């Protein structure tokens, strides 16, 4: 029996999965053209699963070296000799159960390598003698993207790529890096003593424009798979639309809602169940939410912009060249909608709003006296007359000396 998966790579034989064949086809086109590129998306956006599925798709045509820098030791990135002499061994270890012949070949070549120049020559020999073109995939490059040695390694691959096109070298046919940050934006010091002179080690990378979110039709493919196995008679179109409404297709959130309905709401698939699942998710803690909150707390400018958008309802134009907005988009917090800043999805908006209001209440305690706001609801009906009376009373008692902008912000905090 399959299950919905929200941790690690998704395996078709084990998990209910969205059909991402169209996305894989678009990525494969880049590989076939010999492009180097970065899949940079926020946390838990399906990057690792995409790389796994991509490897399965192209492994008959190409030799695929697929590795991750998540668990790489810190010492290897501190010394050029260690890095140069061990990186092929890391590739070999990751291939020993997938392609033993290539694993043995990599281990055989991994001798006498003292520096990046030696490593470059070894890669040339490997690719020149290979019967198939070789594709290199490196996941979790964020673990190393601030390391100058790793950036020098990327710079070496960049130079080999340029020489390959001029018929002066043999190297990997395609290189794919996956992580949160766009490696193209990273800078490499030309010389340690020249701190102001930088160069991008990855400016040859193709723009990656594949939409990694799930649309309504793609969400429906996972629900179809579930329905075929469980025969519960859900309205797939209706449920996929509702899931999309709350998630905007954010992969982790799509699977999380489905998992909650399947495992905690007794497999009752209705619009009300989706709403209930969202409420349950917002009360839970998970690594995605922790990462999102941490990113806000670690950047007060970013916190301020999101506060203005979510709490104060300010409409802000979207400009990807704005560093704060660019960072927020990279973290998956915002997106551009009609050229304005928009929180990526309703779940994030609710989560961040609740968090910011909680911060506000904790720090200033201006809301505590209104904790009995439930009195405004009588038998399920909102008492608008009482709300207006109390609002007028609030303005007179608390803010008679304040300006209009102050009044508007505090009123919004209390009633939203």
* Number of helical H runs and strand E runs in the chain: 16, 10
pLDDT of residue 402 exceeding 80, the answer is: no
The residues pairing with 177 across neighbouring beta strands, listed in sequence order, are 38, 138
> For 71-83, what is the mean pLDDT?
83
Confidence of residue 88 (pLDDT cuts 50, 70, 90): very high
- List pLDDT tens digits, range 47-58: 999 999 999 999
| Lowest mean per-residue pLDDT among 106-110, 172-176, 232-236, 374-378 | 374-378
Place of tokens 């190409």: 62
Confidence of residue 192 (pLDDT cuts 50, 70, 90): low
Cβ(218)–Cβ(18) under 8 Å? yes
Helix axes 287-297 and 300-310, enclosed angle (nearest 10)? 110
Cβ(349)–Cβ(326) under 8 Å? no
- Please give the C-alpha separations between residue 410 and each of 144, 372, 377, 391, in angstroms, as whole numbers: 44, 17, 21, 11
pTM for this one? 0.84
Question: Which one-letter DSSP state was computed for residue 166?
Answer: T
Confidence of residue 197 (pLDDT cuts 50, 70, 90): very low
CA torsion 80→38→163→26, rounded to 10°? Answer: 150
> For 180-190, what is the mean pLDDT?
67
Backbone angle region of 13, left / alpha / beta, with phi > 0 → left and psi within -120 to 50 → alpha: alpha
Q: What angle do CA 157, 146, 292 make, to 5 degrees?
A: 120
- Give the residue among 177, 174, 193 at the shortest CA–CA distance from 185: 177
Cβ(178)–Cβ(186) under 8 Å? no
| Lowest mean per-residue pLDDT among 15-19, 75-79, 374-378 | 374-378
What are the DSSP E strand ranges found in 7-148? Answer: 37-40, 63-68, 134-139
Give the three-class secondary structure for 38.
strand
| pLDDT value for 397 | 61
Place of tokens 């998992």: 259
CATH number given to 21-199: 3.40.50
- Please give the C-alpha separations between residue 334 and each of 199, 296, 306, in angstroms, as whole numbers: 29, 12, 9
How buried is 272 (Cβ within 10 angstroms: 0-12 exposed, 13-18 middle, 19+ buried)? exposed
| Lowest mean per-residue pLDDT among 73-77, 122-126, 209-213, 258-262 | 73-77
| pLDDT value for 331 | 93
| pLDDT value for 190 | 43
Cβ(273)–Cβ(238) under 8 Å? no
The two structure tokens encoding residue 371: 């904790």
- Please give the C-alpha separations between residue 344 and each of 37, 294, 304, in angstroms, as whole numbers: 24, 17, 17
């Amino acid at each position: 029996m399959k299950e919905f998966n929200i941790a690690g790579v998704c395996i078709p034989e084990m998990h209910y999965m969205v059909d991402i064949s169209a996305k894989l086809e678009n990525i494969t086109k880049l590989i076939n053209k010999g492009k180097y590129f970065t899949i940079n998306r926020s946390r838990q956006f399906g990057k690792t699963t995409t790389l796994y599925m991509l490897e399965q798709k192209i492994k008959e045509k190409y030799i695929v070296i697929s590795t991750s820098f998540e668990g790489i030791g810190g010492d290897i990135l501190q010394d050029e000799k260690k890095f140069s002499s061990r990186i092929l061994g890391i590739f070999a270890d990751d291939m020993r159960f997938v392609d033993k012949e290539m694993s043995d070949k990599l281990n055989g070549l991994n001798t006498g390598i003292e520096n990046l120049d030696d490593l470059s020559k070894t890669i040339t020999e490997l690719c020149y003698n290979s019967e198939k073109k070789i594709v290199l995939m490196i996941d979790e490059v964020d673990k190393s993207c601030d390391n100058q040695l790793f950036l020098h390694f990327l710079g070496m691959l960049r130079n080999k790529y340029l020489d390959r096109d001029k018929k002066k070298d043999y190297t990997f046919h395609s290189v794919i890096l996956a992580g949160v940050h766009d490696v193209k934006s990273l800078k490499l010091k030309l010389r340690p003593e020249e701190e102001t002179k930088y160069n991008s080690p990855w400016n040859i990378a193709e723009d990656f424009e594949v939409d990694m979110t799930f649309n309504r039709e793609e969400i429906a493919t996972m629900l179809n798979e579930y329905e075929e196995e469980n025969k519960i008679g859900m309205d797939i179109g209706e449920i996929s639309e509702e899931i999309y409404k709350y998630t905007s297709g954010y992969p982790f959130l799509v699977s999380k809602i489905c998992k909650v309905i399947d495992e905690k709401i007794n497999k009752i698939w209705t619009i009300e169940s989706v709403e209930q699942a969202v409420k349950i998710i917002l009360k839970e803690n998970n690594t995605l939410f922790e990462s999102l909150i941490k990113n806000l707390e670690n950047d007060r400018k970013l916190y301020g912009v999101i506060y203005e958008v979510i709490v104060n309802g300010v409409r802000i134009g979207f400009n990807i060249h704005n560093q704060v907005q660019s960072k927020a988009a990279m973290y998956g917090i915002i997106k551009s909608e009609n050229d304005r800043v928009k929180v990526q999805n309703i779940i994030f908006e609710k989560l961040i709003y609740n968090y910011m209001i909680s911060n506000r209440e904790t720090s200033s305690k201006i809301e505590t006296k209104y904790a009995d706001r439930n009195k405004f609801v009588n038998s399920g009906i909102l008492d608008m007359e009482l709300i207006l009376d109390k609002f007028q009373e609030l303005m007179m008692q608390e803010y008679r000396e304040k300006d209009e902008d102050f009044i508007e912000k505090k009123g919004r905090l209390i009633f939203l």
